[in-house]
Amino acid sequence: MVTKEKSFRDPGLSGRRSIAGIGASVPLALAIGAGFVVGIVGVAFIHDGASPPPSHTGTRLFAAFIPGSNDMRLLGEGWAKPESWGTWTIGPRAELKLPLSRRPASDVHLSITGRIYPWYAKLEQSVRVNANGTQVAKLERGIDGDLYGGSFFIPLHVARAASPIRIVFEIKNPTAPNSIDDNPDSRPLGLGLGSIEVTYDGE
């Protein structure tokens, strides 16, 4: 059974500890706000083989990228202002720093909630995920823009290569809504990031 660390963000997040430290008291409902229905229907693995064995002495961390959350400090270049459900990437790449509270002793599992734009089937979109310079996953668009492939592992040797772990999202086709319909939004969007949950064994 995974050992869960107590959350410092909100009583409703019992069992999850904020990655960025003490966060604002924001209800979890905002992280999965109205209309934000996320279907993680696939698992992407880009490492040596099958998934690692289940964690027995693991650490669990959680971050939500919504207004008022201290986790927003994890985001580097390439992000828009947060919205009630999460935060959009702007342009072809966006960076995130992922600090771990303990030195990893296992592969690091990430579970990302989000959405991908555009959600029109005729317009291609995907997001490559790099960790410390190594590609670890590819996120693709599911039905109605839901995120496919949002559950994946960062191999141990990659996770240990730098601390905090440097995550880079590379957007294949950043697309402005006003380029395809009557929406006035001119931002080149790609990945809408709602939250990240991290699970791993620590030393």
pLDDT of residue 116: 96
Write the DSSP assignment of 132-192 as a string of letters.
TTEEEEEEEE-GGGBEES-EEEE-HHHHTSSSSEEEEEEESS-B-GGGTSS------EEEE
The model's pTM is 0.75
Domains in the chain (CATH in brackets) are 11-50+57-201 (2.60.120)
CB 100 within 8 A of CB 162: no
pLDDT in tens, the chain (203 residues): 344 443 323 222 334 566 765 334 333 333 433 333 333 323 333 333 344 444 445 899 999 999 999 999 999 999 999 999 999 999 999 999 999 999 999 999 999 999 999 988 788 899 999 999 999 999 999 888 889 999 999 999 999 999 999 999 999 999 999 999 899 999 999 999 999 999 999 99
How far is the C-alpha of 174 from the C-alpha of 162, rounded, in Å?
28
Structure tokens at 19: 């990655």
Question: What are φ and ψ of residue 200, in 5° steps?
Answer: -165, 165
Q: Residue 116 pairs with which residues in a beta bridge?
A: 191
User: What would the DSSP string read from start to end of 93-124?
Assistant: EEEEEE--SS-BSSPEEEEEEEEES---TTS-
Residue 103, judged by CB atoms within 10 A of its CB (0-12, 13-18, 19+), counts as: exposed
d(CA 191, CA 145) in angstroms, rounded, equals 10
- Give the pLDDT score at 29: 39
Q: 129 with 45: CB under 8 angstroms?
A: no
What is the model's pLDDT at position 10? 27
The pLDDT score that the predictor gives to residue 20 is 67
